[in-house]
Structures are given as structure tokens and as C-alpha cells.
């Protein structure tokens, strides 16, 4: 660790001890308790699309994590394969801090810098693990948007690298820091619905698309770099009144609906709700023993788990997939119903979604409140704070954040297994201790994907 990095982290550590006691007026808009610019971690952003900040896409919405993260650190470099988004991100940061950050197309220019403390990853899913692993190995802490990985093998590499390097990594499953979900988990642990039997995660369905023609990539987009580790294929684009980008395409926001780059809704919303269900069920150190695709609909035909039409979105649009654990507990993942998680126990049911918690046990809280400290115990013994502050406190104290690599890998493995079962159209059996699919070589082959030459993960 360099002297500059050591000093900056030492100052951050000391400033957090009196967080909230002073606010210093400054153009930098320092967070409560951060006394000097030198105490603020320096951040490099890799991927500056809408999940980083929607304004960087040319829209004016509030969506994105960068506005929250900048309260606790300074962006000093931005990186994106799309020059237009990169330029907007640079201008946004200059407006926030008064200083324009470095702007680069290749993330390695950020990884190689010794003066950057944190790498904030908001790329499409297929880039997450490679950048995060190399950032950790370069001595940097990481805030990585969900889902953490594209494959189970990448999750195994993330776990191994995080354990070996001792870096602090927070996954952007911000529901773990939302009081509504924390209270739901605390109620379950306090036995408010009896012995838990099942969780049902309603995560909505995925869209379909018309035939999307091959097109020339926009001049500002380095299509080869955007693809990176995945196979090189032609760019596809069709303009229209659809979604955030007003188009159907293979890139930017629409990458979510291609198995080549994502897992569809199973890893988009599944990374949120299955994560909470796994947490509440106490399964963050294990996994299911079977995953059954009871009902799955895809917009294109498949053979041996591979789509036969590369001109349309291909992730599952409707589904009911059941993950069963060795003790009989179940997690159902489905496209229909109210978005949220329904927990069923021997003494009642509990439904939780963003901003909503209901059930007879909730009504009883007025007369029978949770024990003192119940929420904090769920939150790893910490004071409840926003998800970004939890990360920066973990960085300062060198302690595990609330959404750590290890537990998220287990939850996301269930999502990945659901995707494999959905693509193959058959039940698969999983050994959670060895992390292998049993007696099905084809299914096991989907645990990992070959990375394109020149884009392998450097270990």
C-alpha cells in the first residue's frame, strides 16, 4: 500500500469516528464527517451507462448509483466503451467536483493507477468478474453492480480472489441495506411466522423483440471492446418506441435479454429477490440440491441449451422454477404475481417488496415489537445506513460489507442454476459442497464459458 493510500484511508477511518458531527460547506459536497478532500477515497468508474448515472445516457432520470457513491468519495477517472457516455460522465463529474476526471476507453488504465483506491463497476454483466478480479489483485477495493457474475465459475473465482487478497467488495444488491427487507429478515429470525417452509420470488417476466437486423455499430461505440470476453458477433439494432434506449439491440440497456451477456430476469431481478430469500432462509453458505424448471417459455427455440435464432432476444419470458434444499426448504422463482418475496412458515406468511411489508405478523408488531437490536444483528452488528455508506465504512474499517462476495455468490448460484435448467428444459441436481452439477455433463458445461482470446481473466 502506498503512503498516499495509507494516509487517505487513515484519515477516512478517523473521520468516520465522528461522522455526523460537522458539515463543511464546499463545492465538493463532502459527506457528513469527511473533514478534508484528502480523506476521501479516489474512485475509478468502469462503465458509465444508466446504472452508473442515467444522465450519462442522455436521459434526465434519477436512476444510478454514482450520485450516492460520490457523497463518500471522488471520481477521478471514468471509463466506457461508448465515447458519448464517457464524455457525459466526465462532464457530470466535473460539475460535481469542479475538476474533470481522466476519461479512458480501456479499464486497464484505471486498474494500473496506484492512486485509485476503489473501482466502481457498472458495465454489462459479462464484464463484471474480469474487472473486479483484476482490480482486487491490483490492491483496490470494489463496488460492483449486480449481478456479480455471468457464470458460476466466475463466482468461484471471485470468492477465491477476495479471500486471497483481503480486499473489500460490495455488490450492488441495495435491498440488503433497505430497512423493509432487514425488518422482514429479522421477523423471520425471531420466529414471527413459525418455522420457515418456503420463499416465492416474483421477479417479473422479460420482454420479447422483433427481428433485430444487423447494423453498423455507432461510431462512438467500440463494439469489439464492448463485447470483450464473449464471442464476437455482428452488432444488431432496431430503433423504435421501446425501453430506455428507444430501440431493440444487443448492447447498452438491452443486453439484459441475451443469454450471451446476462441471465435475463433470473439474474436481473433474481439477483435482488433470490438474494434476500437466500439470506432469510439462512442458506448463504450452501445451495439447493435440485433445480426444477416447472414451466419456462423462451421467445426462440433452443437445442442443448443454446438459442437457434440470434436475431431476437432469447432469455426466458415466463417461468416457474423451483430450487429445493437438502432440508426440504424451497425457493420458487416466477415471472407472475406481485413483484416481491412471499415467505411461508408454519405460523403465517410474510410479503416484502421495496417499501412494502405485510402479513399478520407485521400487524402484531404494534403490540409485540421486535427485540432491541434485532435489525442491527441482521445487519452484521452494524448501525443501519445506506448501501454506499456501508461499503465506505467497511473500506475504512477493513470489515466485510453487508452484501459480500461470499454470500452473494451462493444466492446468485441459485439464479445461474435456474437459468441452466431453464435453457435445457430439465431438472438438474447440484452438489453445493463441491459446487458441481451431478450426472449431467451438458448442464455442467454451462458452469463456465470460454472467454475470447485476449480477454481472459488475468490471475
* Same domain as 238, residue 163: no
pLDDT tens, position by position, for the chain (459 residues)? Answer: 332 343 344 434 433 433 332 222 232 333 333 444 458 999 999 999 999 999 999 998 888 999 999 999 999 999 999 999 999 999 999 999 999 999 999 999 999 999 999 999 999 999 999 999 999 999 999 999 999 999 999 999 999 999 999 999 999 999 999 999 999 999 999 999 999 999 999 999 999 999 999 999 999 999 999 999 999 999 999 999 999 999 999 999 999 999 999 999 999 999 999 999 999 999 999 999 999 999 999 999 999 999 999 999 999 999 999 999 999 999 999 999 999 999 999 999 999 999 999 999 999 999 999 999 999 999 999 999 999 999 999 999 999 999 999 999 999 999 999 999 999 999 999 999 999 999 999 999 999 999 999 999 877
- Domain for residue 159, yes or no? yes
Query: How much is the pLDDT for 30?
Result: 32
pLDDT of res. 301: 98
169 in the same domain as 303: no
Same domain, residue pair 94 and 234:
no
Same domain (yes/no): 229, 120: no
| Phi, psi dihedral angles at 377 (to 5 degrees) | -65, -40
How many domains would you assign to the chain?
2
Q: Taken in order 212, 417, 145, 196, is the CA torsion positive or negative?
A: positive
Give the CATH number of the domain where residue 121 resides. 3.40.50.720
Q: What is the model's pLDDT at position 1? A: 37
- Asked, for residue 190, whether it belongs to a domain, the answer is no
Clarify whether residues 162 and 217 are in a common domain: no
3-state secondary structure of 383: coil
Residue 66 shares a structural domain with residue 203:
no
DSSP reduced 3-state for 333: strand
Neighbours of 362 (CB within 10 A): 18
User: Do 54 and 109 fall within a single domain?
Assistant: yes
Q: According to the model, what pLDDT value does residue 83 have?
A: 98
Positions of E strands within 153-270: 169-171, 196-202, 237-239, 247-249
Task: Say whether both 120 and 235 belong to one domain.
Answer: no
- Which are the contacts of 231, defined by CB distance < 8 A and separation ≥ 6? 260, 452
Looking at the fold, whether 290 and 424 belong to one and the same domain comes out as yes
Same domain, 289 and 412: yes
Task: Give which of 75, 71, 80, 85 is closest to 44, Cα–Cα.
Answer: 75
Domain of 76 in residue numbering reads as: 3-173
Given this model, what pLDDT does residue 38 score?
A: 56
Domain edge (last residue) among 107, 140, 173: 173
274 & 410 share domain: yes
pLDDT at residue number 260: 98
Same structural domain, 165 and 205: no
Amino acid at each position: 500500500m502506498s503512503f498516499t493510500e495509507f494516509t487517505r484511508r487513515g484519515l477516512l477511518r478517523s473521520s468516520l469516528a465522528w461522522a455526523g458531527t460537522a458539515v463543511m460547506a464546499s463545492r465538493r459536497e463532502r459527506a457528513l464527517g469527511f473533514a478534508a478532500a484528502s480523506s476521501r477515497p479516489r474512485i475509478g468508474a468502469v462503465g458509465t451507462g444508466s446504472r452508473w448515472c442515467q444522465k450519462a445516457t442522455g436521459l434526465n432520470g434519477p436512476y444510478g448509483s454514482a450520485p450516492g457513491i460520490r457523497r463518500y468519495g471522488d471520481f477521478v477517472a471514468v471509463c466506457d466503451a461508448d465515447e458519448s457516455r464517457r464524455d457525459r460522465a466526465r462532464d457530470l463529474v466535473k460539475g460535481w467536483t469542479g475538476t474533470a476526471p481522466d476519461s479512458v476507453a480501456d479499464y486497464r488504465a484505471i486498474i494500473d493507477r496506484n492512486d485509485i483506491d476503489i473501482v466502481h463497476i457498472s458495465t454489462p454483466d459479462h464484464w463484471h468478474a474480469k474487472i473486479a478480479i483484476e482490480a482486487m489483485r491490483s490492491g483496490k477495493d470494489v463496488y460492483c453492480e449486480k449481478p456479480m457474475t455471468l457464470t458460476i465459475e466466475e463466482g468461484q473465482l471471485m470468492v477465491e480472489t477476495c479471500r486471497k487478497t483481503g480486499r473489500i467488495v460490495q455488490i450492488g444488491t441495495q435491498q440488503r441495506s433497505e430497512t423493509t427487507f432487514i425488518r422482514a429478515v429479522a421477523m423471520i429470525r425471531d420466529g414471527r411466522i413459525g418455522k420457515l417452509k418456503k420463499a416465492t420470488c416474483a421477479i417479473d417476466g422479460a420482454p420479447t423483440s422483433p427481428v433485430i437486423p444487423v447494423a453498423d455499430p455507432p461510431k462512438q461505440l467500440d463494439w469489439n471492446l464492448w463485447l470483450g470476453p464473449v464471442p464476437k458477433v455482428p452488432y444488431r439494432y432496431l430503433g423504435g418506441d421501446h425501453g430506455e434506449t428507444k430501440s431493440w439491440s444487443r448492447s447498452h440497456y438491452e443486453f439484459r435479454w441475451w443469454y450471451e451477456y446476462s441471465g435475463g430476469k433470473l439474474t436481473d431481478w433474481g439477483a435482488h429477490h433470490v438474494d434476500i430469500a437466500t439470506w432469510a432462509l439462512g442458506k448463504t453458505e450452501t445451495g439447493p440440491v435440485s433445480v426444477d424448471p416447472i414451466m419456462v417459455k423462451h421467445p426462440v427455440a433452443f437445442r442443448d441449451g443454446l438459442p437457434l435464432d440470434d436475431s431476437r432476444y432469447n432469455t426466458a419470458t415466463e417461468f416457474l422454477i423451483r430450487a429445493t434444499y437438502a432440508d426440504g426448504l424451497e425457493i420458487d422463482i416466477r415471472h407472475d404475481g406481485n413483484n416481491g418475496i412471499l415467505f411461508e412458515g408454519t405460523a403465517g406468511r410474510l410479503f416484502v417488496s421495496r417499501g412494502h411489508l405485510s402479513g399478520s405478523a407485521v400487524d402484531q408488531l404494534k403490540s409485540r415489537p421486535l427485540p432491541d437490536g434485532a435489525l442491527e444483528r441482521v445487519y452484521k452488528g452494524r448501525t443501519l445506513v445506506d448501501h454506499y455508506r456501508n461499503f465506505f465504512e467497511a473500506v475504512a474499517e477493513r470489515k466485510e460489507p453487508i452484501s459480500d462476495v461470499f454470500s452473494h455468490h451462493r444466492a446468485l448460484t441459485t439464479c445461474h442454476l435456474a437459468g441452466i435448467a431453464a435453457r435445457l428444459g430439465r431438472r438438474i441436481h447440484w452438489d453445493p459442497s463441491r459446487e458441481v452439477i451431478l450426472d449431467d455433463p451438458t448442464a455442467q458445461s454451462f458452469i463456465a464459458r470460454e472467454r475470447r482470446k485476449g480477454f481472459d481473466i488475468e490471475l
